[in-house]
Structure 1
Amino acid sequence: MATGNYRIKTDNDWNSIYFRFKQGGLFDIEISTGLQCPKGRWSSTKQEILTTKEVSFKDINVKLKELDTYVRKEYECSKLEDETILINSKWLKGKIDFFLNKETKDLELNERLFLTSFINSFIEESRTKKTRTNTPVKNRTIQHYTTTLNKITAFEKHIGNKIKLTEINLKFHSNFIDFLESVQILNPNTIGGYVDDIKLFCRNADNKGYEIPNDYKLQEFYSPTNKTNDIYLKETEINAIFSTHFEQDSLDNARDWLIIGLRTGLRISDFLTLSKKDIIDGFIQIQTKKTDYPVIIPLHQEVLQILAKRHGDFPRNISDQKLNTYVKEVAKIAGLNEQTEGAKMCKTEVMKDGKKTIISRKKFGKYPKHELVSSHICRRTFATLLYGKIDTLTIMKITGHQTEKQFLGYIKITPKEYAQKLKDYWRKMED
């Protein structure tokens, strides 16, 4: 039967604790555990560190006993699974490193054991992977995977441990969400996106046969969400923005881009790259960047007027960030000052690594409406204003939504507005 034994080889102020693992004439291996014992405090007889104030000796002693049990159990399992497994220094080091939450030089082993190593491998595979529709995985999707990886790495730094795939359970779920809420100060919808990614990683690890708990399949392993008060612009507000004169050229340029976004229903990544070549027979015709979906959109009268004043050209190029800054000023000058419920980015002071740090996070409340205006309002407004006026399928073909569920998520008509529509309808019936 295989046996394990600890010893130290030196008599320095600090001494590495070695683990010797052997079985008869089959093998006799000795590897440093990386754990250390202060001078004169090691007991070979008791196989433990004696009482000392220099280290957490009780915790280390427990760890040493657990490590011995773990290695012997792994050895017995390996004999049952594959008799050809070579028990050598590399095997023992891998087991010790894994038990003590240390990555090894064996990338394949790391991928099977640690969450971040698996995600790194998953991301690399995604760069050349095809989706179910035989299209490449979008760069934005890979960027989101990377952001999720960064959040998990930050969590590991926060708790002081690397997370194993075998530890992705309900306790991890609870602690990770608590970290994102209380330390990272993130809102539920953002956190939900990261949990969705983790579930995806777990499914893929499971499909590969890696050891992982089934907790990710449970209802309790939920993705947080909250009902957002996303706003949209009314026709009167759009017309006010369109008809307002702006002395500053940068604001005039931003206003024109905003109107184009509002009257096409395109995402900012699509409407900010429009050019003359995208207009064919009086229609805008493009392949959307996010979904690679072909859309054809008629030119609204306000868009035609913008193109006419620029001799057929679209407004001057502008970055996403600058547009989102300018459109708030545009809306303010146009008089969109009504107090409105919504969320906006606010500076928040948090403690990070023991220091006060200022971060930007969304904060829900009531604000003047112009403070809530951004490029994201365009698509919601387009869908909301047309909903109920023409059939839903027609709007979806223009917005590029492939399911009605996705589309209805953009409709921001309030219950009171629906009630007012019914009231107006009854009044017409009476007349």
Structure 2
Amino acid sequence: MRKYEIMATGKFRIKTTNDWNTIFYRFKHSNQFDIECSTGIQIPNKRWSDSKQEVLSTNDVNYTDINSRLKGLDSSIRKEYENSKLKSETINTSWLKEKINIYFNRETKNVDVDAIIFLSNYIVAFIEEAKTKKTRNNTLIKHRTIQHYTTTLNKILAFETHTRSKLKLVDLSLNFHTKFIEFLETEQKLNPNTIGGYVDDLKLFCNNADKKGIAISKEFKLSEFYTPSNKTKDIYLNEKEINQIYNAVFEQDYLDNARDWFIIGLRTGFRVSDFLKLTPKNLIDGFIEKQTLKTDFPVIIPIHDQVKAILEKRNGDFPRKISDQKFNDYIKIICKEIELNEMVDGAKIAPIKLKENGKEVIHRKKFDKFPKHELVTSHICRRSFATNLYGKIDTLTIMKITGHKTESQFLAYIKITPREYAEKLKTYWKNAQIA
């Protein structure tokens, strides 16, 4: 006689007769185990059919949705049980509770389990791992990179609060991509480039999870799972404007001091975090040498005549130290004083009405036409340096100073307008005719 294997069985039931009663799920297999856990779902009294294993018609709950979810849970538990045989898992009450929580998108409180199922939990684990992870160059990941990962995590948590749903890694579909971008645009009022940074992080997290063999939606690999961007309208200062700044006379000492730092930034191409920290120790045999903070890359640049004059004016020393914030504030005043009032396209931080973390007003970038002096920030130094030298010396030399790794990145960074390119060609033809 053929022997049939006894299958594990699952059954839902109500234990009480209160006004509202919790549905429990009992899962057993002959004498191997008999376990039971709450599903966390409650229904009104006398609306449960034990024979039909379903919630009866009622206006108090969405009974059709509950019935559908219960059938799905039973199917899921059976599937998980079959999978457990391959993993030699212990089937007990904790196992069942964990599987029920996973099915209903609830955290299991098991850190390792939650980290391979839920997106936000995975990102938390990713960030912790990144804090001690080495790059290909055997250096630790930059603190600002970790900070950006954390900001992306916060945006995901805000999205989950907005949608009232906890995301699983398998939920990262094109539909999620569309809704997440829409949320960041309409609710968070973020610009495409900022959103693109968060999407890029998500792709990084997804790739990492995929390589580890963690179950995840593969739709993040599709071209439709794109990174939003818009062409930035950053400005730069041309040689005429820089010379105006250099030759301007400021009676206020704080502006004179800031102007000197401004010229040093414009003539070295360093980031503000680097040039504001220059000291006489960085002056070596007619060059300025600096180990840059962002790239840990040593940069050596000859001293420009204007920088040399500033150093001589200050008896061989650099200007008085000021903070990045004060520098940004003062250079706007300087550019206003020399009347850089041309209306140009750009973006600047402006207050907007938006509720975030209980606050009514926050700040976001606003794109519009502004007087040029209002758009001046510390980063204009490095961009002006690169833009003004482009076409005068070889591109590789400029890239070695600015730290751009590819020419395509560099060309996207510099801000020469179409008219300026045309003027360069005009000058070239004129000089060629004279020759």
Q: Which category describes the TM-score, using the shorter chain as reference length?
A: over 0.9
Cα distance in 2 between the residues matched to 1:12 and 1:49 = 15
Q: Is 1:74 aligned to 2:76, yes or no?
A: no
Q: Which of 386, 405, 416 is the equivalent residue of 2:419?
A: 416
For 1:75-99, what per-residue CA distance to the aligned partner results, in whole angstroms no more than 9, with x for missing partners? 12333x33x2111112111111111
Q: Which of 267, 271, 275 is the equivalent residue of 2:275?
A: 271
Q: Which of 39, 52, 55 is the equivalent residue of 1:46?
A: 52
For 1:374-403, what per-residue CA distance to the aligned partner results, in whole angstroms no more than 9, with x for missing partners? 011111100000111111122222223333
Shift of 1:318: 2.6
TM-score w.r.t. the length of structure 2 is 0.93
Total equivalences in the alignment: 428
Partner of 1:27: 33
Cα distance in 2 between the residues matched to 1:118 and 1:251 = 49
CA RMSD of the aligned region, Å? 1.9
Shift of 1:352: 5.0
Q: Secondary structure at the match of 1:68?
A: helix
Cα distance in 2 between the residues matched to 1:61 and 1:272 = 66
Task: Tell me, yes or no, if the aligned pair for 2:132 and 2:140 is still in contact at 8 Å.
Answer: yes
Task: Tell me, yes or no, if the aligned pair for 2:356 and 2:362 is still in contact at 8 Å.
Answer: no
Shift of 1:262: 0.9
Equivalent position amino acid for 2:187 in 1: V
Partner of 2:432: 429
Counterparts in 2 of 1:49 and 1:325: CA distance versus 1, 3 Å? farther
Q: Secondary structure at the match of 1:25?
A: coil
Shift of 1:314: 2.3
Cα distance in 1 between the residues matched to 2:191 and 2:19 = 49
Q: Which of 2, 10, 13 is the equivalent residue of 1:4?
A: 10
Q: Which of 348, 355, 365 is the equivalent residue of 1:362?
A: 365
Counterparts in 2 of 1:312 and 1:8: CA distance versus 1, 3 Å? farther
Shift of 1:14: 3.4
Cα distance in 1 between the residues matched to 2:170 and 2:280 = 55
For 1:112-162, what per-residue CA distance to the aligned partner results, in whole angstroms no more than 9, with x for missing partners? 101111111111111111111222111111111111111111111111111
Shift of 1:351: 4.8
Q: Is 1:226 aligned to 2:230, yes or no?
A: yes
Cα distance in 2 between the residues matched to 1:211 and 1:49 = 32
Partner of 1:386: 389
Cα distance in 2 between the residues matched to 1:48 and 1:37 = 11
Cα distance in 1 between the residues matched to 2:374 and 2:151 = 27
Partner of 1:335: 339
Q: Secondary structure at the match of 2:116?
A: helix
Q: Is 1:293 aligned to 2:297, yes or no?
A: yes
Task: Tell me, yes or no, if the aligned pair for 1:379 and 1:410 is still in contact at 8 Å.
Answer: no
Task: Tell me, yes or no, if the aligned pair for 2:8 and 2:27 is still in contact at 8 Å.
Answer: yes
Partner of 1:86: 90
Equivalent position amino acid for 1:374 in 2: T
Shift of 1:306: 2.5
* Comparing 322-331 and 228-237, the one that deviates more: 322-331
Displaced runs of 4 or more, over 6 A:
none
Cα distance in 2 between the residues matched to 1:12 and 1:312 = 86
- In the alignment, structure 2 segments of 5+ residues that lack a partner are 1-6
Cα distance in 2 between the residues matched to 1:256 and 1:32 = 71
* Comparing 49-58 and 30-39, the one that deviates more: 49-58
Shift of 1:40: 4.0
Partner of 1:199: 203
Q: Is 1:17 aligned to 2:13, yes or no?
A: no
Q: Secondary structure at the match of 2:106?
A: coil
Q: Is 1:174 aligned to 2:203, yes or no?
A: no
Q: Is 1:159 aligned to 2:155, yes or no?
A: no
Shift of 1:244: 1.9
For 1:204-241, what per-residue CA distance to the aligned partner results, in whole angstroms no more than 9, with x for missing partners? 10111101122111111111111111111011111112
Cα distance in 2 between the residues matched to 1:49 and 1:255 = 76
Cα distance in 2 between the residues matched to 1:321 and 1:40 = 67
Task: Tell me, yes or no, if the aligned pair for 2:344 and 2:372 is still in contact at 8 Å.
Answer: yes
Shift of 1:201: 0.7
Partner of 2:408: 405
* Comparing 69-78 and 116-125, the one that deviates more: 69-78
- In the alignment, structure 1 segments of 5+ residues that lack a partner are none
Task: Tell me, yes or no, if the aligned pair for 2:258 and 2:327 is still in contact at 8 Å.
Answer: yes
Task: Tell me, yes or no, if the aligned pair for 1:259 and 1:302 is still in contact at 8 Å.
Answer: yes
Q: Is 1:61 aligned to 2:67, yes or no?
A: yes
Cα distance in 1 between the residues matched to 2:104 and 2:255 = 58
Cα distance in 1 between the residues matched to 2:10 and 2:261 = 71
Cα distance in 2 between the residues matched to 1:19 and 1:309 = 83
Partner of 1:247: 251
Cα distance in 2 between the residues matched to 1:368 and 1:109 = 54
Task: Tell me, yes or no, if the aligned pair for 1:15 and 1:36 is still in contact at 8 Å.
Answer: yes
Q: Which of 354, 358, 372 is the equivalent residue of 1:350?
A: 354
For 1:294-340, what per-residue CA distance to the aligned partner results, in whole angstroms no more than 9, with x for missing partners? 11011222222333333333233333233222221221112110111
Q: Is 1:317 aligned to 2:321, yes or no?
A: yes
Cα distance in 2 between the residues matched to 1:410 and 1:196 = 19
Task: Tell me, yes or no, if the aligned pair for 1:112 and 1:210 is still in contact at 8 Å.
Answer: yes
Shift of 1:8: 2.7
Shift of 1:166: 0.8
Identity among equivalent pairs (%)? 62
Task: Tell me, yes or no, if the aligned pair for 1:349 and 1:356 is still in contact at 8 Å.
Answer: no
Task: Tell me, yes or no, if the aligned pair for 2:263 and 2:306 is still in contact at 8 Å.
Answer: yes
Q: Is 1:189 aligned to 2:193, yes or no?
A: yes
Counterparts in 2 of 1:408 and 1:39: CA distance versus 1, 3 Å? same
